[in-house]
Amino acid sequence: MAATTEETVRSFDRLFVGGRWVAPSSDRAIEVISPATENVIAHVAEAREADVDAAVSAARTAFDEGPWPHLEPGRRAAALRRIKAEIARRIREMSRSFTLEIGAPIAVSEAFHQGALAMWEGAAQVLERYDFEEERPSDTGTARLRHEPIGVVGTITPWNAPVGNGSIKLAPALAAGCTAVLKPAPEGPSSAMLLAEAFEAADLPEGVVSVLPAGREVGEHLVRHPDVDKVAFTGSTAAGKRIMSLCGERIARVTLELGGKSAGIIADDIPADEIVPDLVMAGLGHSGQVCAALTRILVPRHRHEEFATKIAEFMSGIVVGDPTSRDTQLGPLAMERQRQRVENYVRIGIAEGASLVTGGQRPAALDRGWFFEPTLFADVNNSMRIAREEIFGPVLCLIPFDDEDHAVSIANDSPYGLSGAVYARDIGLAERIASRLRTGQMWINGWGMCVTEPFGGFKQSGLGREGGVEGMSAYLESKYIWRA
C-alpha cells in the first residue's frame, strides 16, 4: 500500500536574485518527487550558470557599494530578527513542505525548523556582543585590531534540512556583514524557496541574499566564481574535497561541514533499558540522514548480546510509514538512489561477516515509497566498511570493546570526527572518555546537535566551525592598524 494520501507542495517558477523574484535564464525546472508516494508534487525553477553570475554580481555590488556591511551591529541584529520572525510565520508550511519533499516525519520537521529559529536568534545575540574593534598593545606606537566582513559568500547546502542548513550559514554570514548567494540542493527546493520568501519579507537591502536551487555543476560554477570571497559548504566528504581543491586554486576562504561516523560509547555501569531508546533514535532519527548521527554503538564485550537483543526489540516497535502522521517515527529515505545506497551497504555488511540482527530490507507492507526498515548489525569489526563509511541511512553497527582504552581507540579509529556520546553513571568516567575523543561535539548521557555553539568536525568531518562566536568569526577578516 502507499504510505500517504496524495498531497502537493508549492511550485515556484522564478528565482530569488538579489532580493527580487526574477525569471530564470532557462526553462529548466526541478521535478519534485515525493519519497513517500513516488509522485510528482511540485516544479521549481532550476538555476543555471547565468543566474549564478547575476546573483554574484548583485551580491558584489551590495557588498562594495551598499549599506549592509557598514550598518551598526544593532541594525543588522534587528534585520536578523526580522528574518527569524518571517521564518516563524512560515514554519508550518516549511515543516509540511520538508515532510512531503524529503520524507522527514512531521515531528522531526518541526524540530528542525525550530532549530533554524534558534540559529537566527543566536547569530543576532553574538552580533550584539561582538567586539569588532579592539586596542592592541604596542611598544612603538598605537595599534588597533579590526574585524571586517570577508565579502561575498557562496553557500552550498544539502537536501537533508534545506532551511536549517541555509540558516546555519547565512545567519552568521549576514551578521558579520557579508552578502551571500545560497545554492540549495535540487532535492527539497520548495522549502528553500519558502526561506527566500522570508528574506524578501524581512526587507533586506538589495543584493544582500539570493537563493538558487540547482545541481552540482552550477554549484561548482559558484565555487569557481572570482567574485566569491568565501565558500561555505555542507555535504559529503568527497564533494568537500573537490570544493576545497577548487578554493585552493584561488585562495578563497572555505568552511566545510562534512560527513560523520559518530560513536556512542556505553560504559559497563549503566542499564540498557535506561538508554536504548535515546541511543537508537540518535542514530536512526530522520532515517539516519543526519551527518552527526550515532551510527557506531560501542559496548563492553560481555554485554554485546544483551544490547543486540534490547536494540532489536526496540527497533521492532518503531513505526515506519506516512511521514505526515504524528505516530510515525521513521519516514522514507529521501531519494530512490539513497535507498539503493543503503541496500548496497547491507549486502556489504553481510559479505564482510557482520551479523544482521534485524531489518535490512524494505517494509513488506509498503509497496510504494523509498522506505527501509531500521537495521542493526552486530559482531561488527571497526575495520569493516559498514563501520568506516557513512551510510546515511537507518543502519546501526554494534561493536564490542574490551576496556576504556580499547573503546577510545575504536572511536578515534575513523576518518571522521563530527560528534559522539558517552553513556555512564560514573560522570567522572564519562568526562574522561569525552575528553579523549577527537570529535567536534560530545554528549554525556544523551545526544543532540547544538547549532548555536561551535558545530563542526575533526579530520575529514570538515574544516572550521558553525554556530556561536566561532561561527560568525569564520566570516570575518582581521586587520591590524598601527600608527606612530
Looking at residue 6, what is its pLDDT? Answer: 55
Interatomic CA distance for residues 363 and 371, integer angstroms:
7
Same domain, 55 and 200: yes
CATH of the domain at 444: 3.40.309.10
CATH of the domain at 105: 3.40.605.10
Residue 2 lies in a domain: no
Could you tell me the residue range of the domain that residue 125 belongs to?
A: 15-258+461-483
**Residue 101: DSSP 8-state:** H
Looking at residue 5, what is its pLDDT? Answer: 47
Interatomic CA distance for residues 306 and 270, integer angstroms:
12
Same domain, 290 and 243: no
Interatomic CA distance for residues 270 and 267, integer angstroms:
6
Same domain, 42 and 84: yes
- CA 223 → CA 244, 247, 248, 297, distances in Å? 9, 7, 11, 37
Residue 77 lies in a domain: yes
Same domain, 90 and 166: yes
Looking at residue 296, what is its pLDDT? Answer: 98
Same domain, 246 and 286: no
Residue 3 lies in a domain: no
Same domain, 280 and 427: yes
Residue pointed to by grid coordinates 531508546: 277
Residues of the chain short of pLDDT 50, as ranges, are 1-5
Looking at residue 25, what is its pLDDT? Answer: 97
Same domain, 432 and 374: yes
Residue 325 lies in a domain: yes
**Virtual CA dihedral for 224, 227, 230, 232, nearest 10 degrees?**
-60
Same domain, 313 and 411: yes
Q: What digits encode the pLDDT tens for the residues 99-123?
A: 999 999 999 999 999 999 999 999 9
DSSP H stretches of helix in 144-260 = 162-176, 189-201, 216-224, 237-250
CA nearest neighbour of 435 among 422, 454, 449: 422
Residue 4 lies in a domain: no
Residue 291 lies in a domain: yes
Same domain, 169 and 230: yes
CA nearest neighbour of 458 among 442, 437, 441, 440: 440
pTM of the model: 0.95
Same domain, 475 and 388: no
Same domain, 359 and 302: yes
Return the active site residues. 257, 291
- CA 222 → CA 50, 183, 188, 209, 247, distances in Å? 10, 8, 20, 14, 11
Name the residue type at position 154: G
Looking at residue 92, what is its pLDDT? Answer: 96
Interatomic CA distance for residues 1 and 8, integer angstroms:
19
How many whole angstroms from its chain centre is CA 447?
A: 16
How many structural domains compose the chain?
A: 2
Helix, strand and coil in the chain, % to nearest 5: 40, 20, 35
DSSP 113-164: HHHHHHHHHHHHHHHHH--SEEEE--SSSEEEEEEEE--EEEEEE-SS-HHH
- The C-alpha angle 86, 169, 472, rounded to 5 degrees, equals 105
Same domain, 39 and 117: yes
Residue 409 lies in a domain: yes
Residue 6 lies in a domain: no
How many whole angstroms from its chain centre is CA 21?
A: 26
- CA 456 → CA 94, 125, 408, 413, distances in Å? 25, 20, 20, 18
Calculate helix-pair angle for 216-224, 49-65, nearest 10 degrees. Answer: 30
Contact 171, 76 (CB under 8 A): no
